Amino acid sequence: MKLKNNLRTETGWEIIENSFDPDQLVTTGSNFMIGNGYLGYRGTFEEWEAREYVACVVTDTWDQAEGSQWSELCNVPNGLFTQLFVDNDMFSAFSGKTEDYYRALDLRHGLNQRKLTWRSPKGKKVALEVEKFASLVNHHLISMSYRFKALHKGRYRLLTGIDGKVWSINGEHFKSYTPIQEENLIGFNLKTSESGSQVVVCEGLKINGGHVLESEVIEDSRRILREFVFELEADEEIHIHKLVSVTHANEVKNPKEVALAEVEEGLKQGHDRLKKAHQSQWDDFWTVSDIRISGNEEAQVLARFNLYQAFIATPRHANLPIGARGLSCQVYQGAAFWDQETFNLKMFIYTHPEIARRLVTYRHDTLDGARRKAKNLGYYGAFYAWTSGKTGDELFPDYFFTDVLTGRKIRNHFNCWQIHISPDVVYGIWSYYEATGDWDFMLNHGAEVLFEVSQFLVSRVHFKKDKNRYELIRLLGPDEYHENVDNNAYTNYLSRYALQKAVIVYREITRRAPERMEELERLTGISENSPETWKEIADLIYIPEADTKTGVIEQFDGYFQLEDVRPDQVRKRLIDPGEYWGWPNGVAIATQVLKQADVIQLLALMGGFPEKVLTANYEYYEPRTEHGSSLSPSVHALVAVKAGHHEEAYRYFLEAATIDLYNASKKVLSGGSFLGGIHTAAAGGVWLIIVEGFAGFQVTEEGIRFKPALPESWNSLAFSLKVKNCLLDIQLNPSSITVKSTAQNGDNIKIFVDDEVALLQPGQTAIL
Amino acid sequence: MKLKNNLRTETGWEIIENSFDPDQLVTTGSNFMIGNGYLGYRGTFEEWEAREYVACVVTDTWDQAEGSQWSELCNVPNGLFTQLFVDNDMFSAFSGKTEDYYRALDLRHGLNQRKLTWRSPKGKKVALEVEKFASLVNHHLISMSYRFKALHKGRYRLLTGIDGKVWSINGEHFKSYTPIQEENLIGFNLKTSESGSQVVVCEGLKINGGHVLESEVIEDSRRILREFVFELEADEEIHIHKLVSVTHANEVKNPKEVALAEVEEGLKQGHDRLKKAHQSQWDDFWTVSDIRISGNEEAQVLARFNLYQAFIATPRHANLPIGARGLSCQVYQGAAFWDQETFNLKMFIYTHPEIARRLVTYRHDTLDGARRKAKNLGYYGAFYAWTSGKTGDELFPDYFFTDVLTGRKIRNHFNCWQIHISPDVVYGIWSYYEATGDWDFMLNHGAEVLFEVSQFLVSRVHFKKDKNRYELIRLLGPDEYHENVDNNAYTNYLSRYALQKAVIVYREITRRAPERMEELERLTGISENSPETWKEIADLIYIPEADTKTGVIEQFDGYFQLEDVRPDQVRKRLIDPGEYWGWPNGVAIATQVLKQADVIQLLALMGGFPEKVLTANYEYYEPRTEHGSSLSPSVHALVAVKAGHHEEAYRYFLEAATIDLYNASKKVLSGGSFLGGIHTAAAGGVWLIIVEGFAGFQVTEEGIRFKPALPESWNSLAFSLKVKNCLLDIQLNPSSITVKSTAQNGDNIKIFVDDEVALLQPGQTAIL
């Protein structure tokens, strides 16, 4: 079926591009990318270079380029670089004539494919067929099959190797490029700029067909290439298998040896055998993760596209963060934000809890960084980094945006006032624990985080004696247009939540594992009085309640006193369209206009609010929200469902699901900063909208609950969930829900739908 | 002696201008002004109009012009307006030729005088001699003697009356101008724009000499004038006595009747008799207020110039505020700022306590405004207005400065975060009470203020349980370049002071006047528990102490972590020289560069700091201070003396004393706002420097103390003080202090100098 722009899908399992649009270079490079949670390789063309935003971004390679303000992941040299010359005309989408163009992203198996016929400026035709994938079997490897057929006799020259002149947005990340030439393999042995850590990109190839006239290795300062010249007859075909390994010393001991050995071994297997094993892993992924929608093919392929992007962005091989742009580019430093817990984690908790465990364990691994941040700012406990990389130290710079009107840098306070990140981490840990019951994790990892976050809150709250309440002062909520506010509803609710969970866990460990509690007390410096303090704060922290008349919760103290205008009116006050709307003097700060609505976010995360409150708040905040954040549509979709605004919910679902694919994200540049790439949280949000929104899935103490609100155009919706030791297959249609507990499950589980309840034994199916 | 620029003095009692400098229009208009605390009449020329910044600013006429952001005092129609034509050439400083130019301000008697000879473009000469004063006897009256002598025969035409086309910086303040013509008097009956309140300007004149050829009244929409034509022989002289009365309905019941009657009566007396009575009042003022300096004539005249300006700016006729620019123009809204208490009040406390009582009573009169402000901002008690007019409601607008780079208004938080104004008011009240022992005032006015300020502080503080201390969060100290700071040293110290004084007064009233305490409890809502709360906060409020190593007190939490640069370096970062340096994104905000030093201000107000601490802080903060405020030099002079930096002290004294006279104030425009006019606080500061600085005067519980540090060039310094029911005459010379207790005094007084002490009985003199 035809999708928007020049896109289509055939089976609901792929995105196909019908024509090449040079204006969409940045976007399609992201959308057609391949990856495996270790590396991301943008869906660019093999003959492209830095100016076309080619990138291979690798996890755990944080490096601060000289003169840059922050560290980010390295974009390593491009091992797939391949240029084809037909009688000295370089094959290019920008010259000659391209026919039968086809570019596809195979979502089921993580394959990027391109097929076309090209007529050179001199009139010679060649047919090209390329396929590549980032292996799920061995995450270091990218395999490419590059096939071309001479449609006219001629001299064909291939320049292929490793291009180190890459797109690096904040400066050079390698201080040395040592070429490798061993046997038939070439590569670069690189040292990162800041720490001198080793990164290796190594490439090998096998050529089938034709006859190589000449062959030589060409090196320049940041390139190592091989040149092959063929004299081909018409219809003669060349098939190249190119295999690249990217390794680094933060992951393997001998990056060079490992990379060389892997490429050598992989070349022996060949593209097709490697691909088969890779596909099998993808099949395993989809067995649990697929969401099947019937009745709406577009929704079907959008769901899969977003699941795919969320999955390839997420490290499975180590306890590492999900970057806010995944591995699609260097923006946002390949680092975790609060999105990880609030937008991405749940999909993994309920489909691949082993990945979710890595993500929550990552927060435990980085506890020391959070401790250092708290201490640096005059607090104690754990204040998690707004932008969290390897160590958990704050990566977010004091000065991020630029005032485009004056050129002066802006001191935004994301790193020091957006304290909700710490309770958000607790939210993630508790959500994981609630769904999995993973006591071992809680005991050995989670609890320490919970306790340290509570201690941080102890150091952060202020007590108002005359009001007998605790307050949180000088905050920045998720709505980043309003810095320096007090008692932000989202932050205060989440902080209470975090303190309450810490009290529960403290009691549980004291009861079940007193010796571990002793150790935890040593590690965190808490004492048996601490949980009393946490409880006192949880009991007395000021919680802005829904107004008894209107049902609306005030976003922060004094919010209702701000100018009550709408985003379009405020937009007209911009002097420059690229202005940042927020701190210190942007157009939104003195108004009720929001970047994203904190209260809506709160309602999306927290249960227990009556529908009346959901509706009142949705209707109040939605028109005041600018949706300046890519996080905004999915959270609005989610709450719109709960608030009974089904049409709007679906509109926001589509917006969230197409932010990247249809390039609906308005802003690539904001306040002078490039913010492009895959919006990973929006991708995670699509799972939330479908499962928590349209299916109304919710975990309760006793079991799980559904409150379905299937979109009108959907005949049925099916997905699987792992929860409370059960793998469940769920199928919804407009009149019923079918839940199947798979035979292998260990426990019974209770399913609630409205007033109905079914107790499901392993192997049983219930229709409600 | 010659002073700076084109100025000189002859007796140390006057400022004489030797030549007319058109570039100094704004400045000389302020410097040569006359006034009486009810009205200020700028020292401009009689023939001038709005473009030459003519103004007659009248107290208690607050009005908000249409389209203006704030209310301000009215500049009323100019009743002295007089133009002279010689054969149709208008006499003007800008045309023809002026000879024997003389403009003087007689400080002793508050007279503005001008003498000159003028040759018209047609070559006819006329001699002019004008004198005017704003009466101290009847504050409604301005009397002018206007004399001209024809040096050539000719036709002389005089156009004189009331010019309503005045300089009004934020719009039109009168919605109607009804002309008055009664008997020989003309005038305007005006209605203010906002409230329609009545203001009357009425004028009468008497002409002596010559023969009036023609005479007629000319009216246009905002002018009422009389034209007189004379045919004069050479050496024939005309003498006009012009008398103006300015009244308004906020002060008198029948402004029109009063004004007409006063002018009629005054004209009968004539200029000279009116002047004699006026002079006698000035003599009374100087009897107590004069500061006599021998050895340095410049210092002598500067001292008097500043005493003069401080005096004429200060209402004596009613409980009204001292405007930050006195009555010299409309800037700063004719309203009181914290300057009133910290810079201007003390001179009156110790020389004219009856005026001081009016000023502190004004704070009691405006308590309801302060209550309303507290309530509007979510507090209770009394949060005094940053800019305080008649009612004490906040006059300072949310948006004051403009970002000159973008044209966007800036939300400065002077009005809501600069909370030290409330303890500053207490400081003023306590200083008055300490010096005068005026129990009646404390009981009936002061106490209520003290209690309500303490209640405000109760509502404003936050308790940090984990640190067992109270904190003040989100402040703006006197250093306005750093908004949004915590635990500002100045604010925290002063707040503790205010709470402590309230506890003392509560106890005293409970003991001495329990029935009044019952009434006060009713008025303020406090209970017998309240003083316990005040005491607890006073005991536990965080007080940033002098660092044990360096002796430096940190201005606010985290100040030492800011970039440590100097004002000149920061100045280089300006994109536009007119930029505001502070909030939200000015060049100083992330640096240690200060507008004025809070800690220095603290040390200037509060005793009890060891000299080591005084020196350490002076040496630390002085080089980091930009002195962007006219308050800065005097406070630096004061602390420099105490810190032993005598040369710098004298340099800052000269700077403070000449800000206006030598036009040393660098900034007439800041952040897009006009800030010219007389810097009244600097004038008050001169008294502080001399008496509290160079003489080292200090009130203690037992008596008074001097710690003299006479400037090198001064042979002696003499002044009078009213303190603890005594009028004392003090004379310092480099080796001794002579204190004379006048015979009329009721009490004995103890005088301390270093380790010496003298108990002085009425009529006695001590040399120490």
**Active site residue ranges of A:** 480
Binding residues of B: 338-339, 595-596
How much of chain A exceeds pLDDT 70, in percent? 98
pLDDT at B437 over 80: yes
**Which CATH code fits A398-526+535-699?**
1.50.10.10
Strands A749-753 and A704-706, how do they pair?
parallel
Contacts of A533 in chain B (CB under 8 A): 465
Give the architecture (CATH level 2) of B704-767: Sandwich (2.60)
Model confidence pLDDT, tens digit, residues B571-588? 999 999 889 999 999 999
| pLDDT single digits (tens) A178-189 | 999 998 999 999
Domain B32-263+270-290 CATH class label: mainly beta
Q: Which of A624-628, A717-721, B650-654 is the least confident region?
A: A624-628
Which residues of A line the annotated binding site for substrate? 338-339, 595-596
A665: enclosing H helix or E strand: none
Binding-site residues of A, in ranges, read: 338-339, 595-596
pLDDT category, B510, cuts 50, 70, 90? very high
Q: Identify the pLDDT of residue B665.
A: 55
Indicate the SS3 state at residue A460.
helix
A408/B585 Cβ within 8 A: yes
Dihedral of alpha carbons A379, A381, A384, A388, sign: positive
Which residue of chain B is at minimal alpha-carbon distance from A410? B585
Min Cα–Cα distance to chain B from A286, Å: 51
Which tokens hold the place of B47? 């023939």
Higher pLDDT among residues A385 and B668, named by residue: A385
Size of interface A-B (CB pairs under 8 A): 61
Average pLDDT over chain A, rounded to an integer? 95
Residue B598, number of CB atoms within 10 A of its CB: 28
pLDDT at A620: 98
Q: What's the pLDDT tens digit per position in A9-29? A: 999 999 999 999 998 888 999
Within 8 A of B474 by CB-CB distance, chain A residues are 473-474, 484
Q: Which residues of B384-418 are buried (b: 16+ CB within 10 A; e: fewer)?
A: bbbbbbbebbbbbbeebbbbbbbebbbbbbbbbbb
Report the predicted TM-score, pTM, of the whole model to 2 decimal places: 0.92
Task: With beta carbons under 8 A apart, name residues in chain A contacting B403.
Answer: 585
Q: Quick one: closest CA in A to B460, which residue?
A: A464
Mutate to test the interface with A, among B400, B406, B412, B532 (most CBs of A within 10 A): B406
Whether residue A669 is predicted with pLDDT greater than 60 in this model: the reply is: no
Quickly state the pLDDT bin for B675 (edges 50, 70, 90): low
Domains B32-263+270-290 and B294-694 share a fold: no
**CA B442 from chain center: how many Å?**
25
pLDDT band at A305 (very low <50, low <70, confident <90, very high): very high
The pLDDT confidence band at residue A761, using thresholds 50, 70 and 90, is very high
pLDDT of residue A536: 98
pLDDT tier, B673 (very low <50, low <70, confident <90, very high otherwise): low
* Nearest chain B Cα distance for residue A667, angstroms: 22
Q: How far apart are CA A367 and CA A383, in angstroms?
A: 9
pLDDT tens digits for B299-320? 999 999 999 999 999 999 999 9
Chain B residues interacting with chain A (CB cutoff of 8 angstroms): 378, 403, 405-408, 410-411, 458-459, 462-466, 471, 473-474, 484, 533, 557-558, 575, 583-585, 589-590
Pairwise CB contact (< 8 Å): B378 & A558: yes
Choose the mutation target among B416, B463, B486, B532 for the interface with A, i.e. most A CBs under 10 Å: B463
pLDDT tens, position by position, A320-345 = 999 999 999 999 999 999 999 999 99
CA distance B598 to A456: 31
Contact B408 A585 (CB under 8 A): yes
**For residue A534, what are its two tokens?**
């946490």
A-chain residue closest to B410, CA distance: A585
Can you give the residue ranges of every domain in chain A? Answer: 32-289, 398-526+535-699, 704-767
The CATH code of the domain at B294-694 is 1.50.10.10
Structure tokens at A285: 């992924």
Cβ distance of A406 and B405 shorter than 8 Å: yes
SS3 for A245-264 is EEEECCCCCCHHHHHHHHHH
Q: Which of A378, A462, A584 sits opposite B463 (nearest CB)?
A: A462
HSE on the CB side for B18, CA within 13 Å?
10
What CATH number does the domain located at A32-289 have?
2.70.98.40
Phi, psi of A251 (to 5 degrees): -120, -40
pLDDT at B672 over 70: no
Which member of B17, B480, B483, B655 is catalytic?
Answer: B480
Residue B700 C-beta-side C-alpha neighbours within 13 Å: 16
Residues of chain A contacting B, Cβ within 8 Å: 378, 403, 405-408, 410-411, 458-459, 462-466, 471, 473-474, 484, 533, 557-558, 575, 583-585, 589-590
Yes or no, beta carbons of A378 and B557 under 8 Å apart: yes
Nearest to B691 by CA among B634, B632, B744: B634
Q: What residues of chain B lie within 8 A of the CB of A464, using their CB?
A: 462-463
pLDDT tens figures, A148-187: 999 999 999 999 999 999 999 899 999 999 999 998 999 9
Residue B413 CA, chain-centre distance (Å), reads: 23
Query: Binning pLDDT at 50, 70 and 90, where does residue A665 land?
Result: low
Rounded mean pLDDT of B444-464? Answer: 98
Contact between residue B34 and residue B279 where contact means Cβ atoms under 8 Å apart: no
Nearest CA to B603 out of B489, B441, B451, B443 is that of B489
Residue A584: list chain B partners with CB under 8 A: 583-585
Task: Tell me the chain B residues in contact with residue A407 when contact means C-beta distances shorter than 8 Å.
Answer: 575
pLDDT in tens, B705-741: 999 999 999 999 999 999 999 999 999 999 999 999 9
Is B473's CB within 8 Å of A471's CB?
Answer: no
- Pick from B378, B575, B585: which is nearest to A585 by CB? B585
Question: Min CA distance, B479 vs chain A (Å)?
Answer: 19
- List the structure tokens of A518: 């002793």
CA distance linking residue A176 with residue B169, whole number of Å: 66
At B2-34, the pLDDT tens digits run 999 999 999 999 999 999 999 888 899 999 999
CB contact under 8 A, B575 and A471: no
Closest CA to A449 of A435, A428, A478: A428
Q: Are A499 and A470 in contact (CB under 8 A)?
A: no
ipTM of the complex: 0.89
CB contact under 8 A, A465 and B466: no
Q: Regarding beta strands B749-753 and B704-706, do their DSSP bridges make them parallel or antiparallel, or are they unpaired?
A: parallel
Closest CB from A403, A473, A575 relative to B462? A473
Q: B106: which residues sit within 8 A by CB, 6+ positions away?
A: B13, B14, B112, B113
Task: Collect all residues with Cβ–Cβ distance below 8 Å to B673 and sequence separation of at least 6.
Answer: B400, B401, B402
Of B403, B411, B463, the CB nearest to A465: B463
B557 neighbourhood in chain A, CB within 8 Å:
378
Q: Which residue of A has its CA nearest to B583?
A: A584
Instruction: Tell me whether residues B585 and A403 touch, CB distance under 8 A.
Output: yes
> What sign for the dihedral angle of Cα A658, A661, A663, A668?
positive
**Distance from first CA to last CA of chain A, Å, rounded?**
33
Among A466, A473, A474, A481, the residue to mutate for chain B (most B Cβ within 10 A): A466
> Which residue of chain A comes nearest to B459, CA vs CA?
A466
- Residue B480 known to be catalytic: yes
* CA distance linking residue B451 with residue B455, whole number of Å: 6
Nearest to B465 among A410, A463, A466 (CB): A463
β-strand partners of A292 = A718
End-to-end CA gap in chain B: 33
Average pLDDT score over residue span A604-608:
92
Q: Which residues of B touch A465 (CB under 8 A)?
A: 463, 533
Alpha helices in A525-610 (DSSP H): 530-540, 567-571, 598-605
Contact at CB, A458 and B466, closer than 8 angstroms: yes
Lowest mean pLDDT among A112-116, A463-467, A741-745: A741-745
Among the listed residues A628, A568, A569, A566, the one whose alpha carbon sits nearest the alpha carbon of residue A597:
A628
Question: Is 80 exceeded by the pLDDT of residue B130?
Answer: yes
| Cβ-based contacts of A411 with chain B (< 8 Å) | 585, 589-590
A462–B464 C-beta distance less than 8 A: yes
Nearest residue to B432 via CA among B489, B379, B361, B516? B361
- C-alpha B387/C-alpha B332 separation (Å) is 8
For B186-240, the pLDDT digits (tens) are: 999 999 999 999 999 999 999 999 888 878 899 988 999 999 999 999 999 999 9
Residue of chain A whose alpha carbon sits nearest to that of B380: A466
DSSP B423-436: HHHHHHHHHHHHHH
Query: Buried b vs exposed e over B419-439: b needs ≥16 C-beta within 10 Å?
Result: bbbbbbbbbbbbbbbbbbebe
pLDDT, mean over chain B: 95
For residue B557, what is the nearest residue in chain A, using CA coordinates? A378
Using CA coordinates, name the residue in chain B closest to A406. Answer: B405
Q: With contacts defined as CB-CB under 8 Å, which chain A residues touch B408?
A: 575, 585
Subunit contact A406:B589, Cβ cutoff 8 A:
no
